[in-house]
Structure 1
């Protein structure tokens, strides 16, 4: 069993005002359906805002736009594609504990 993502997309500028499917670049979009992805959003100073996992990036990110208090600060995003959801969730928990994103609330403690 692997603990590395299948594909790691490079950090890129992020257009938080883009609509729906345009949140992904033209090159990324075909890779996002369906996929298990771990994503990290960063602000303009590359401070880690949020780490998340989803099976549907193009559906999850618009939900963040509507509800997440950090969305207006997001300027960069990095995405990793994982072979299985349980591996991505393990990687997410590890990232939250070790990278300390500013807005994640769950998985901060060892028992979460």
Structure 2
């Protein structure tokens, strides 16, 4: 095995481990905001590591550019989806009662 195959395999395994921890966080965390954090941060980083490892393995192949497109669309859409989920959870009051926000920009009493 060459050095590039080791790097590729390591990146893919680390990315899979991050995606697995994100899945565990979604199942185990108690409220929507912490689940949203688990669904976006490690999932996106894990996917980028898997795509990078696959890109190294596919270097020189025309299909490697498809991996770049997948990564770009994921980076663009993940924050938008997380924002919409968080805003919906706030409006439906699906958050912990002990969670105190320092600045509550969506509070109707402030307007």
Structure-2-length-normalised TM-score: 0.28
Instruction: Specify which structure has the higher proportion of strand.
Output: 1
Instruction: Specify which structure has the higher proportion of helix.
Output: 2
